[in-house]
Amino acid sequence: MKIAVCIKRTPDSESRFKIAASGAAIDETGLKFDMDDFAGYAVEAALQLNEKAGGGETVVYAVGPDNVQETLRKAMSMGADRAVQLKADSVPADGIAIAKALAAELKDGGFDLILFGKHAFDSSAGVVGTATAELLGIPCVTAASELTIENGTGRARRELEGAAEILTFPLPAAITIDEGVARPRYPSLKGIMAAKKKPLESKPAQLGPSRITVQKMELPPERPAGRIIGEGSAAVPELVKLLQNEAKVL
């Protein structure tokens, strides 16, 4: 199969964040950036589907400045065949503007499947994948937790509140990947060496106008310091009293 995977570079999610002096961005000093977790699941899912099919091509795409090339190389070190950077000075806050750039690039690509992470850690919005599918006019499963392709038909599972949908769809299709589909492999040394020689194309992103601007970023209010009320089951009566009289949740 010919599979496209659209990935994003995001800061390490375990970081402690500080707000930049502008008040409208995070301070990137000292932060480690890597492929977004959900994008990693999507790359792994693509590689496994093509391994199972016994061939095909996996092409990775990223929108952004030149630092996304490192993320694209990582995907190629995992096993993707080639990469395309859709170059932009920054990644807009308006997911529809990004979807337009991806749809313009992917529409004549002849892909059987286009994969995305279900959302990226930084923007936590989950707009780009499903919107790109809509612009391309192809079937889309948002946040699939299982995915198989057999004889040109896809099957996916999607979690709902207290239930799950089982879905089928024809190809070509777009899928945004939830955790559970595939744990990403670590690039091997051989993979890392091979990735250096794989083609990475860079071209301008045809972004739509961004109608969303970040006015402010702030850290959420800190929780008051935790309190240990006692040890062992002897502390249970005190806990119940606090839940009743102080927290008023009983």
Partner 1 sequence: MANILVFAETRNGEIRKIAFEAVTAARQLADATGGGEVHAVLAGASGIGAKASQLGTYGADVVLVSESADFAGYARESLAATVADRARTGGYRAVVIGFSAQGRDLAPRVAARIDAPLASDVTDISATADSITVKHPAYANKVIMTLVITGSPVVVSIRPSAFTATESAKTARTETLAASPAQGATVTVTEVKEGAKGRPDLGEAAIIVSGGRGLKAAENFKLVEDLADAFGNAAVGATRAVTDDGWRPHSDQIGQTGRQVSPQLYVALGISGAIQHLAGMRTSRTIVAINKDKEAPIFKVADYGIVGDVLEILPVLTAAIKGARQGH
- CB-nearer residue toward partner 1: 168 or 202: 168
In this structure, what DSSP letter does residue 14 have? T
Q: Which of 4, 7, 38, 91 binds partner 1 (CB under 8 A)?
A: 38
If the CB atoms of residues 53 and 229 are measured against partner 1, the closer one turns out to be: 229
Residue nearer to partner 1 on the CB measure, 15 or 188: 15
> How deeply is 155 buried, as exposed, middle or buried, from its count of CB atoms within 10 A (0-12, 13-18, 19+)?
middle
Q: Which one of the spans 72-80, 107-115, 191-199, 208-216 is the region binding partner 1 (CB under 8 A)? A: 208-216
Beta bridge partners of 149: 154
* 65 near partner 1, rule: CB under 8 A: no
Between 217 and 246, how does the x/- string for binding to partner 1 read (CB under 8 A)? xxxx--xxxxxxxxxxx-xxx-xx-xxx--
Identity (one letter) of the amino acid at 23?
G
- CA torsion sign for 149, 153, 159, 162 is negative
Q: Left if phi > 0, otherwise alpha if psi is -120 to 50, otherwise beta: which for 124?
A: left
Which residue, chain included where needed, has tokens 């199969």?
Answer: 1
Q: Within positions 113 to 172, which residues make up the interface with partner 1, using CB under 8 A?
A: 121-132, 134-135, 137-143, 145, 158-170
Size of the site for partner 1 (CB under 8 A): 85
Q: Which segment (50-58, 72-80, 173-181, 187-195) binds partner 1 by CB under 8 A? A: 173-181
- The verdict on 193 binding partner 1 (CB under 8 A) reads no
Q: Which amino acid is at 114?
A: I
Bridge partners (DSSP) listed for residue 148: 155
Q: Quick one: 46 or 131, whose CB is closer to partner 1?
A: 131
CB of 167 to partner 1, least distance (A): 5
Q: How far is the CB of 183 from partner 1 (least distance, A)?
A: 9
Q: Which two tokens stand for residue 72?
A: 């694209």
Helical (H) or strand (E) element with 73: helix 68-78
Least separation, in Å, of the C-beta of 194 and partner 1?
A: 29
Residue 48, sorted as left (phi over 0), alpha (psi -120 to 50) or beta, turns out to be: alpha
User: What span, in angstroms and rounded, lies between the C-alpha atoms of 122 and 37?
Assistant: 11
Q: Is 203 helix (H, G, I), strand (E, B) or coil?
A: strand
Smallest separation (angstroms) from partner 1 to the CB of 214: 6
Is residue 215 part of the contact set for partner 1 (CB under 8 A)? yes
34: contact with partner 1 by CB under 8 A: no
Contact window for partner 1 (CB under 8 A) among 14-22, 50-58, 67-75, 81-89 = 14-22
Residue 149 and residue 117 in contact, taking contact as beta carbons nearer than 8 Å = no
By beta-carbon proximity to partner 1, the closer residue of 84 and 141 is: 141
CB atoms near residue 215 (< 10 Å): 7
The nearest distance, CB 68 to partner 1, in angstroms, is: 19
